[in-house]
Amino acid sequence: MAQFSKPAWLENPLVRWVDHRLPVFSFMSHELYEYPTPRNLNYWWNFGSLAGIILVIMIVSGITLAMHYVPHTDYAFDSVERIMRDVNYGWLIRYIHMNGASAFFVVVYIHIFRGMYFGSYKAPRELLWILGVVILLLMMATAFMGYVLPWGQMSFWGATVITNLFSAIPWGIGDWMVTLLWGGFAVDNPTLNRFYSLHYLLPFVLVGVVVLHIWALHVHGSNNPVGIDTKGDQDVIPFHPYYTIKDTFGLGVFLIVFAGFIFFAPNFFGEPDNYIPANPLATPPHIVPEWYFLPFYAILRAVPDNFIGGWVTNWMGFVIFDAKLAGVLAMFGSIGVLFLLPWLDRSPVRSSRFRPLFRQFFWLFVIDCAVLGWVGANPAEGYFVLIGRIATAFYFLYFLVIIPLLGILEKPRPVPASISEPVLGGGAATAAERAQ
């Protein structure tokens, strides 16, 4: 692998003094400066660093909000209103945090789809991928608990619906879990307190897992759009300045769009009902989660009453699990199946550039996720029920049947011998294509 030149600042006497005792600067230089990176990364590779920056933005804005927020059912809503009206730039900090959550999910969902399209989850990056799925779960838990804190109508009823799901787990375990989550027998002040505590804690756990994620990434280096391993110096370039500049440009574009939402449409992603203080005696007509949970919400509601639960009951004469539990299992299973992806896809070719069939099914899957989101945003009635069931069935078919079968049946297109071959060959056909 290439040895790229070290930065001049490593020669600074003070830097050398510190580095001799604690080599943080050599470490930074090695991982962020000289670090050999495939030369063909496109803009889809910007989203990992962008996610990292948003995580920092979320932590900084969150800590600032925490200085003014009061985690008590009597004061929480009003303390948030005070942040919006009286605290200097409180409105800005809150809108950054609120919209930052949505931006985080947009960026991470794109990051995940990128990984799926280019086969970045395949060997030797399985653990990197698994850590990513753990990150996703942590993000979901953090976002869910954060949404409860303003103690509006959607905070309260969202918390009630989602925590109640655990009661579907049989043998009293579910009820025990729900009481533990609530800290009592209903969503109330102890619930708000523990959610606040965990909402503050989890982002730091997230930072820890992100460090492992990037560590795992740096062991074998990034995958790339053609999905083949780098083979020597001609295939790599140093991370700095090439990708520091590219990532900075992406960050600039992101900040423009982000500022657009914060200053011109700060409640675009929000739910108006959450500006009504929580009222345990008045259920809102539609309880909808934030947009980033909608596909999973659709899967939860898609399992029919007479499906697995009813089927098991009728066939075996007693209830092993009812439809509610089946829905909960399907919802968690929809994320759980991501853990298995590296082993479900047996194709030796990573990038879907060389997998025409896989590519088509991938786009169907993306559309399927969008359809699930749309169904999740609507009441579970009329034709939404049928569409939700079909889309849920496709979701699982995609992972459990289509991907494994394509790995065996699909004939991939010839893969170039190296990353630089198509470029150095003047864009002419690859050796593999010429040999055909």
Q: Which of 235, 271, 290, 345 is catalytic?
A: 290
Distance, CA of 40 to CA of 419 (rounded, Å): 7
Q: Which of 235, 247, 271, 368 is catalytic?
A: 247
Q: Which of 6, 68, 218, 240 is catalytic?
A: 218
Residue 233, CA distances (Å) to 39, 325, 402 in order: 10, 54, 37
Identify which of residues 102 and 223 has a Cβ nearer to ligand HEM in the complex.
Answer: 223
Q: Which two tokens stand for residue 279?
A: 């009222």
Encoded amino acid at 138, one letter: L
Q: Which residue is nearest to ligand HEM (CB)?
A: 132
Active site residue 30: no
Active site residue 19: no
Residue 409, CA distances (Å) to 203, 354, 358, 397 in order: 42, 14, 11, 16
Q: Maximum CA pair distance of the chain?
A: 79
Distance, CA of 326 to CA of 176 (rounded, Å): 19
Closest approach, Cβ 242 to ligand HEM, in A, equals 13
Closest approach, Cβ 125 to ligand HEM, in A, equals 6
Active site residue 222: yes
Q: Helix 189-220 and helix 173-182: axis angle, to 10°? A: 100
The b/e string for 162-200 (b: 16+ C-beta within 10 A; e otherwise) is bbebbbbbeeeebeeebeebbbeeebeeebbebbbeebb
Distance, CA of 73 to CA of 188 (rounded, Å): 7
Q: Which of 222, 347, 351, 352 is catalytic?
A: 222
Active site residue 305: no
31: phi > 0 → left, psi -120 to 50 → alpha, else beta; which?
alpha
Identify which of residues 116 and 308 has a Cβ nearer to ligand HEM in the complex.
Answer: 116
Closest approach, Cβ 111 to ligand HEM, in A, equals 5
Active site residue 111: no
Identify which of residues 45 and 258 has a Cβ nearer to ligand HEM in the complex.
Answer: 45
Identify which of residues 150 and 225 has a Cβ nearer to ligand HEM in the complex.
Answer: 225
Closest approach, Cβ 50 to ligand HEM, in A, equals 8
Q: Which two tokens stand for residue 13?
A: 């006497």
Q: Which residues bind ligand HEM (CB under 6 A)?
A: 45, 47-49, 51-52, 55, 108, 111-112, 115, 118, 120-121, 125, 128-129, 132-133, 135-136, 210, 213-214, 217, 222-223
Identify which of residues 271 and 290 has a Cβ nearer to ligand HEM in the complex.
Answer: 290
Q: Which of 97, 111, 199, 246 is catalytic?
A: 246
Closest approach, Cβ 212 to ligand HEM, in A, equals 11
Closest approach, Cβ 206 to ligand HEM, in A, equals 6
Identify which of residues 205 and 276 has a Cβ nearer to ligand HEM in the complex.
Answer: 205
Q: Where in the sequence numbering do the catalytic residues fall? A: 218, 222, 246-247, 290
